[in-house]
């Protein structure tokens, strides 16, 4: 459980730093004191790719060290990553975006779709971390 909490903490701190750096590097938008848009809160692509890299690294290291690998967990994680890279983007396009390629305003702070997309990606990332925790003990 400790490893999962560390992962969530690192993920949230990284997201905060990305938003900060984006905000510092951009000029102000008309009528705002910053240059950030709602889409800057989308991190699902980063986290899905990170999950794929984490799983691949775990499998390579486990193979080289002849560590046992929980195959059912690996298969489920791999399916989650594949769905996150194939079906999920199309579902977001169909459900979460307006015609002008802008994410729809919905839910709390008008960021419901951003929370959903990021939430799915965090679950995918945590599934990869869980495989690593199982492999490394």
pTM for the structure as a whole: 0.89
Distances (CA, A) of 74 to 27, 52, 109: 44, 11, 36
Residue 118, domain member (yes or no): yes
Q: What share of the chain is helix, strand, coil (3-state, %, to 5)?
A: 75, 0, 25
Q: What is the pLDDT of residue 135?
A: 94
Mean pLDDT, the chain, integer: 94
pLDDT of residue 137: 82
Does residue 79 form part of some domain? yes
pLDDT at position 40 is 94
Q: Show the domain range for 56.
A: 38-136
Question: Is residue 49 situated within a structural domain?
Answer: yes
Sign of torsion over alpha carbons 14, 18, 20, 21: positive
Question: In the chain, how many domains are there?
Answer: 1
Q: What is the pLDDT of residues 59-113, one digit of tens each?
A: 999 999 999 999 999 999 999 999 999 999 999 999 999 999 999 999 998 999 9
* Beta-bridge mates of residue 103: 97
Contact 3/133 with Cβ under 8 angstroms? yes
Confidence band (pLDDT; 50, 70, 90) for 4? confident
Residue 9 lies in a domain: no
What is the distance between the alpha carbons of residues 17 and 23, in angstroms, rounded to a whole number? 10
Residue 59 in domain: yes
In a domain, 81, yes or no: yes
Domain membership flag for residue 24: no
pLDDT band at 2 (very low <50, low <70, confident <90, very high): confident
97 pairs with which residues across the strands? 103
Residue 94: inside a domain = yes
């Amino acid at each position: 459980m400790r490893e999962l909490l560390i992962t969530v903490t690192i993920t949230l701190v990284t997201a905060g730093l990305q938003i900060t750096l984006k905000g510092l590097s951009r000029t102000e938008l008309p009528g705002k004191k910053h240059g950030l848009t709602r889409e800057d809160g989308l991190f699902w692509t980063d986290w899905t790719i990170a999950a794929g890299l984490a799983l691949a690294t775990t499998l390579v290291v486990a193979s080289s060290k002849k560590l046992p690998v929980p195959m059912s967990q690996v298969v489920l994680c791999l399916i989650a990553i594949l769905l996150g890279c194939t079906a999920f983007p199309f579902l977001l396009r169909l459900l979460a975006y307006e015609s002008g390629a802008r994410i729809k305003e919905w839910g709390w702070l008008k960021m419901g779709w951003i929370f959903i997309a990021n939430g799915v990606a965090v679950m995918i990332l945590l599934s990869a971390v869980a495989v690593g925790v199982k492999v490394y003990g």
